[in-house]
Amino acid sequence: MKVLATQPRQPVPDHRSAAPAGTLASMTKSVLIVGGGPGGASCAYWLARNGIEVHLVEKKRYPREKACGDGLTPRAIKQLLDMGFDFDGLDLHRVEGLRAYAGDLKIEMPWPEHSTYPNWGATMRRADLDGAVAELAEQQGAVIEQGTTATPIVDNDMITAVHLSGDSGERDVHPDLVVIADGSNSRFGRGVGASRRKDYPFGLAVRAYYETPASDDRFIESQLDIRDKEGRAMPGYGWVFPLGDGEINVGAGLVSTFRGWKDVNTSHILDAYVDSLPDHWKVVESTPHTKPLGGKLPMSFSVGPKIGRNWALIGDAAGAVNPFNGEGIDYAYETGRMAARYVGEAAGGATDALPGYARELEETYGDYHRVARVFVKAIGNPTIMRSLTTVGLRSKPLMEWTLKVMANLLDPEEAKMSEHIYSAIERTVNVGNQ
């Protein structure tokens, strides 16, 4: 893979200075994207493709490790296909569906057929994926600057300047518009006044890589009932994502709605899960091949406001993580693309464009995440969690339908019934809570 330039080719243009009449600089505004993960790279790709002058700064350098499951759902694959991603020339492992366990109960489900999304997913290390997508943005004309930290300078809800610091020195730049895509911790976002709603859920997760001769398995795997060595139920869930290269990504997570989550160490959940992995993975040592990485994930678009006078939040920086399954890569790509449309309009001179982005976020994801919040609150009760999983895994049609809902893969015809479907989920969960 081509290595992206680690030094800036040019500074972010300062359009406060005069530009010759009729030039591109006099007709459009400059855009700075802070963060080069899935959301930032996607936004940069679509802005640059549409002729917008865009500069992306990434704090680290590719390749860099991320605390992530490395899984790509059909929604994520769709976004990569639309960006012309080279699926054949990179280390990508295709997966056909999900294998779910609840204790000794097991069920395998292929990804559903869908009129919009492909019926397959994949796994690819974020260390490889993010740089490859950033390169696609660069090919469209975006400037990618690595190893650069960005700090906002704000006045009256407007970013008036951004201080950039890196190996090439320090400077202040004055972009007209800023897209904030610096991940779940989002220091830049906090710097402009964004904050997480405390009544919304967040996730805690840890992952590590383990060697196995079974890394070419075509199913990703989840365990919904993890037990310690004494057989006691532990809060949370586990996953195995085969990478096809001799290793698997094994992780464990829990949501803040789980009882006693503050007293739980996710590394202990991971250790218990690895000790009880199914035999087909042939993991003979419980020592990971790499040091475990963990992190905190704001969920359900819990971070806001989503826009300011000249900025917008996308991806994990906006809390765009699905509470049903902890997936964030697909929503980072989607919100990056969505924001690019409105930021592009603003760059072209539309003064009321950015509120349209906030409205579309709510229209697209609002109902789904409302139900997801109800669901994760309910499964925080261990009794309800065990009841739902043991009953569900005995019914393949029910689980296939559940997979569609949890992966947000309802077909358009089914989506027309989404209000009824979501109401049914809420009623089911509320009955379980009684």
| Model confidence pLDDT, tens digit, residues 142-199 | 999 999 999 999 999 899 999 999 988 999 999 999 999 999 999 999 999 999 999 9
- CATH superfamily for 96-111+201-297 is D-Amino Acid Oxidase, subunit A, domain 2 (3.30.9.10)
- Between CA 254 and CA 433 the distance in angstroms is 19
Asked whether the beta carbons of 266 and 253 are under 8 A apart, the reply is yes
Q: Two tokens at 281?
A: 């993975």
pLDDT of residue 24: 33
**Distance, CA of 371 to chain centre:** 19
- Between CA 393 and CA 11 the distance in angstroms is 55
- Between CA 64 and CA 324 the distance in angstroms is 27
Whether residue 118 has a cis bond before it, omega within 30° of 0:
no
Read off the pTM: 0.90
Asked whether the beta carbons of 345 and 31 are under 8 A apart, the reply is no
pLDDT of residue 130: 97
Angle, CA 302 vertex, CA 349 and CA 378 arms, to 5°? 150
Least Cα distance to 174 among 25, 333, 372, 374 occurs for: 25
The residue with tokens 């982005």 is 357
- Between CA 46 and CA 218 the distance in angstroms is 31
pLDDT of residue 25: 38
Are 24-67+125-198+299-364 and 96-111+201-297 equal in CATH topology?
no
Q: Two tokens at 424?
A: 């049914």
pLDDT of residue 374: 85
- Cα Rg of the chain, angstroms: 22
Q: Two tokens at 152?
A: 């906002």
pLDDT of residue 427: 61
Q: Where are the domains of the chain?
A: 24-67+125-198+299-364, 96-111+201-297, 368-433
Phi, psi of 81 (to 5 degrees): -60, -45
pLDDT of residue 108: 93
Alpha helices (H) along 179-306: 187-191, 266-275
For each successive 10 residues of the chain (434 residues), what is the average pLDDT? 39 37 47 98 98 97 94 97 90 93 87 94 96 97 97 95 93 97 96 96 94 96 87 87 96 88 88 93 80 93 97 98 93 98 96 97 94 82 67 72 84 66 59 50
- CATH superfamily for 24-67+125-198+299-364 is FAD/NAD(P)-binding domain (3.50.50.60)
Average pLDDT of the chain is 87
Question: What 3-state class would DSSP assign to 58?
Answer: coil
Least Cα distance to 330 among 186, 118, 64, 160 occurs for: 118
Question: What 3-state class would DSSP assign to 264?
Answer: coil
